[in-house]
Chains A and B, each alone.
Chain A
Amino acid sequence: MSEAVLSPVAETPVSREESAAISPRRLIWLRFRRHRLAYASGIFLLLLYIVSGFCEFVSPYGTTTRNDDAINAPPMSVHFFDAEGNFHLRPFVYAYRMEVNEDTWMREYSEDTTRMFPIRFFARGESYEMWNLFESDVHLFTTDEGGYIHLFGTDQLGRDMFSRVFYGGRISLSIGLVGVVLTIVLGILLGGIAGYLGGIADRVVNKAIEVLTCLPALPLWMALSAALPVHWSPLLVYFGISIILSLFGWTGLARQVRGRFLSLREEEFVMAARLIGADTPRVIRKHMLPSFSSHIIATATLAVPGMILGETALSFLGIGLRPPVVSWGVLMFQAQNPLVIEMTPWQMLPGLFVVLAVMAFNLLGDGLRDAADPYSTAGAK
């Protein structure tokens, strides 16, 4: 700073040394790292995506495998010490002992300490087709033939909740991403058109945004997804739902992009680029987008939770994804009745995962937004 100059009276360029020392991207990254919660959420999400990306490998069973010995059975606990107090290096679970309660006619489970199933890691079990590409039967963990392991319990058909939660996570988490990609495309396209062209285009887009934001999303989602043809394949329904979700989600981003374009249009570096003859798309791509890509990332991150919650709500109502597809919402559909919480609370675990994932996305998005623009307002949506 020794070169610094009395700015109002002297016309010497301000020393750039200091500001050049830290690039904007690095500054954003530094600020983001300081949001420890956001950082932790990012890592948590990354893990969640990896685990559900490899759910065939991670879960011991497929989504339809039934265990007739365990209907509505509670989560098992993993042991190192057996009933006699002996230590086992290899963790194990005890088999279920089932009794029917004479009064309520409900099944009640306890641990059968005479039968233990050691947990095998990277062992062979049920065979599966990884990503529909190749067959394998190696699982992260499983038990020997004849044994079973249900860390999250089972549902009323004896299907392993642990496996179903992560298979469901694959669908629910990815539908959020697909929806958000569509949202970004729509948001940038429409917001950009409005902000860059102005005039009638701006007015039309603005009116569309205004109308869409004052429509209650869920009822319209309901109407649209009820309109999806019943004969559609699960994959088509999946994309149909993500399109429906993004139809209402793009407004926030579009409004931001529009505002940015409006203010950027006036800014000097854009003007300069135009003067030297760069054509419009080039100006947008090279000069305008990079200067707020961090905003787009932050806004997009904050839009994912809405998608996940939307899918969950629709599937919960039975008009979104339907079995045999497994998503968190589909899993919650089975838990519609408060009696389910009463009798088999572990069936609510998908709900817990929804809450965790949404919370993590919110935190991550907040952190990204703060890092991208320390002066931004949460309210200025």
Chain B
Amino acid sequence: MRSYLLSRLLGMIPTLAVISVIIFVVIQLPPGDIVTSMLDRLQAQGVDTTEEYVQNLRAQYNLDKPMVLQYFYWAGNLLTGDMGYSHLYSRPVNDLLWERLGYTLSITVSALFFTWLVALPIGIYSAIRQYSIGDYILTTIALVGLATPPFLVALVFMHIGFDWFGVSTGGLFSPEYEDAPWSWARIADLLAHIWLPMIIIGLGSAAFTMRILRANLLDELNKPYVVTARAKGVGHAKLIIKYPVRIAINPFISTIGFVLPSLISGEAIVSLVMGLPTIGPLLLQALLNQDMFLAGSLLMWLAILTVVGILLSDILLAWIDPRIRFE
């Protein structure tokens, strides 16, 4: 187990390195760079700049160096936790990032738990009652859930909240807590708001996971080891849970791997619609304004979140499945 953990941890490093290269390339893609967009800004304000000033600025951001070196400066800064300066917000990226990252994390993780909480019982029910009315209804709902873009779900939910309950469902806080310092009341207020984005974001992945679990379970239900256990006289309910479900749950847990990226994607867009103070809206602003330091670090952090999540799911998997543990 320990060597397994170690190898997984070490395996993360090249993955993250490759990801950082990809992200660096992506943020270099737009024409121009941080200095040209700063100059544009200054010019728009009517400030004249000298050639020397521009050169200095370029040197300051290492833009006069070759691309490869620029990458290493960027990655090195990331490693030391210095994510640069957002000229869009005129603040260090670090300041902007942490709180929003926390919200993104809490919404995504709660959506993940919601996904499991919903998908597990429904998937099992649907598989062992295959072709029953309940199965048809649930698989139909899952189908619709899978096909509906999260932002549409968000719009509809917000509409329902607005129309039926007369509440504005956007945001993570009531206005009075918006800028208040942290307190128990503020946390309670957060919890009272976070469940809606949690459901909206989790819906699609719950549908996806439920379908996977159902299919896996159907596959496992008639495997020889289940027949053996049945022939041994194990009672029905125990048989299902102890044998096929226990195996079908493995790919289910590894779906964190697929689900987490899509949850984070969903979170980004739902946050935009619902006006949540998370990474998604910040990223969109950064991209629209070519604030590439900001965009790059945001992308990098989202990727790190996912990679760590996948690592955790792998560890969980090894913990519950001896076959992986013993490899």
Contacts and interface: CB of A to CB of B under 8 A. Distances in A.
Interface of A: 207-208, 210-211, 213-220, 222-224, 226-227, 229, 305, 309, 312-313, 316-317, 319, 332, 335-336, 338, 341-342, 348, 351, 354-356, 358-359, 362-363, 377-381
Interface string B145-157: 0111101100110
B19 A215 contact: yes
Contacts of B146: 358-359, 362
B152 A332 contact: yes
Choose among A229, A336, A341 the residue with the greatest number of B CB atoms under 10 Å from its CB: A341
A85 B27 CA distance: 66
Contact of B306 (A216, A223, A309): A216
Interface string B245-262: 000100110010110111
Interface string B19-38: 10011001101110000000
A274 B257 CA distance: 38
Interface string B69-81: 0000000000000
Interface string B300-327: 0011001100100000000000000000
Contacts of A354: 147, 149, 152
A207 B14 contact: yes
B143 A227 contact: no
B287 interface: yes
B283 interface: yes
Interface stretch (B178-186, B191-199, B224-232, B268-276): B268-276
Interface of B: 14-15, 18-19, 22-23, 26-27, 29-31, 143-144, 146-149, 151-152, 155-156, 158-159, 162-163, 211-216, 219, 248, 251-252, 255, 257-258, 260-262, 264-266, 268-269, 272-273, 280, 283-284, 287-288, 290, 295, 298-299, 302-303, 306-307, 310
A381 B156 CA distance: 31
Contacts of A313: 149, 151, 269
A356 to B, nearest CB: 8
Given A223-B295, A224-B29, A227-B26, A211 B284 contact: no
> Chain A contact residues: over half helix, strand or loop, or mixed?
helix
A315 to B, nearest CB: 11
A351 B260 CA distance: 24
B15 A305 contact: no
Given A223-B295, A342-B162, A342-B163, A214 B15 contact: yes
Contacts of A341: 155-156, 159
Sorted nearest first, the 4 A-B pairs with minimum C-beta distance are A218-B265, A378-B215, A226-B287, A358-B147
A172 to B, nearest CB: 12
A362 B147 contact: yes
13 contacts: A210-B15, A214-B303, A215-B19, A220-B23, A223-B283, A227-B30, A319-B284, A332-B151, A355-B147, A359-B143, A359-B147, A379-B215, A379-B255
Contacts of A218: 264-266, 268-269
Contact of A216 (B14, B265, B288): B265
